[in-house]
Structure 1
Amino acid sequence: MDQLVTGEAVALEVRPAQFPSRALAVVLDLLVALFAWFVVLMLLFATLTSVDEAAAAAISVGTFLLIPIGAPIAVETLSRGRSLGKLALGLRVVRDDGGPIGFRHALVRGLLGMVEVLMTFGVVACIASLVSARGRRLGDVFAGTLVVRERVPDGHVRPTPPPPPWLMGRYSGLDLSAVPDGLWLEVRQYLTRLGQLDPAVGHAMAQRLATEVVARTGARVEGVPAPQFLAAVLYERQSREAARAQAAALASARAQGTAAGGPYVPPEPAPAPAAPAPAAPAPVPPVVPVPPAAPAGPAAPHAPAGPGGPAGPAAPADGGRPGGGFAPPV
């Protein structure tokens, strides 16, 4: 871990890029630049058929100066120190005081890079990087720049102090799109180092940063101290970025569900099986009471035989008709 001293005498902890990562970033940048130079050169020779040797040599030199040398300078200037190779490896070129580089820094690095990287096949740049304590090559020494790592482990990132509760949500309707990333970086570095700064230096930095933020956002800060205002505005920006990230994650999940055949719909629980209806009871036949058998009575006495013949059938007990059927009168 190294330290950079800003113009306000504030020490910033940074991690200078090591030689292997810097070398790999340079190789990636050179491969992209040479490929673009080759493509542009072939297109020019294909369109310009009637070109003599002198014109062809002039075109080759011009495209070489424009693409492999001029293009990296333009890219580092516009991206504030992040070329394609550095972006892929998480590196960035900054000034000696930790600020973003400008066109002058990128121009000096590019011109000296043509000598120590292209003309000497990287030998001079390798020796200078290995000898330097911060791994700087000659272009960085003369331009006053340093290549640092932007991606650091979570343990080295210090959280910013939250704003007081009475300021949370006060700037929710503020337009923060006009505040550049460099100013946000300065605000965050100031808030994380607030307890380590000299009171006078910290007050001056807070006033300057708050003035710049107010000039770009039009916020009203009457009665709000500068450090608390910066903490509230930075908290609002972080909250919006977290909300955008969450919305993007939900949109990506929905897109993946649609691509797979439709959005995910949780299955409905299966209905419980209906209880079987009770079976109808079998009809019970009615019970017919059986009358008890009559007890056998004493036998009736036989009537005596009449004079005309044998005795006829016995008369019924109830004195009615004879039990043998109809008898004609005599």
Structure 2
Amino acid sequence: MSELVTGEAVALELRPAKLPSRGLAVVLDLTLAVVVYIILSIGLFAATSSLDEAAQTAVTIAGFVLILVGAPIAVETLTHGRSLGKMACGLRVVRDDGGPIRFRHALVRGGIGVVEILMTFGVVACVASLVSARGRRLGDVFAGTLVVRERVPVAPAGFLPPPPPWLAGRFSGLDLSAVPDGLWLAVRQYLTRMHQLDPQVGRGMAERLAADLVARTGTPVPSDVQPAAYLAAVLQERQAREVRRTFANGPAAPGGPVGATPPYGAPRQSPAPAVPAVAPAYAPPASWTPGSGPAPQQAPVGHPVAAPPAPPATEAGPGRSTGFAPPA
């Protein structure tokens, strides 16, 4: 990994391309250029058959320079450092400061590449790349360029490393009302990418972010806490406050006061569905016995129940009542 510093003093972490990937890109570019040169040579030979030998030689040399030298320079200039072979391998030519190349950079690389790649079959370019700390050939050294990798493994995004356990709740009394959202976003992005940065670059960035938080909270960083751990602990405190604020007006927890919520992360218990009351089954009067008459029917809800009809009068007998009273 190469640390480059732009004109704005911004440290860039660029990954220089390895020799195998660069060699494969050069082979692809040369293969395509040779195929185009052969096709063009056949066409030029047919078109210049009526000319003398000197003219045919001049046209052949011009075609060679145009296809094998001019075409790569034009392609890298128009695509800002991406030839067809480099596109296939995920590479790009950039300046030493990380910016896109221009015509003069592509011209110097292409001109020196004729000597170290075409005339020496790539031996000089391979030796120079192996000797250079960033894998640069002579054309890159004189042009001030570098071939870097564009397709790099991407780490899973969104994971925030937790602070040390002994910092839990230590910054609960910190005033975070004056911290802007942009600073919170910068802290979160740093924590998610801190393991991908160079140690020195990451330490300096953590110190600057911690200083910005101190300037807005008014509380200095404890001397026994590292800046990265301080940022993680403060961000966790802010998230905990957001959670409490979000669920402050939630439903009451079982057995708790109104507005209380269960602990964060615990599943909520939904209230049991209301079951409509069922009217009790109708029971006939105790005085009614089976066989003495029709059973009384249950009246609709809200209406009085009619009394059962009296049993028909029968002859008097032992133990039976006729229901007739004789006159006095």
Of structures 1 and 2, the larger Rg is shown by: 1
TM-score by length of 1: 0.48
Which structure is higher in helix share? 1
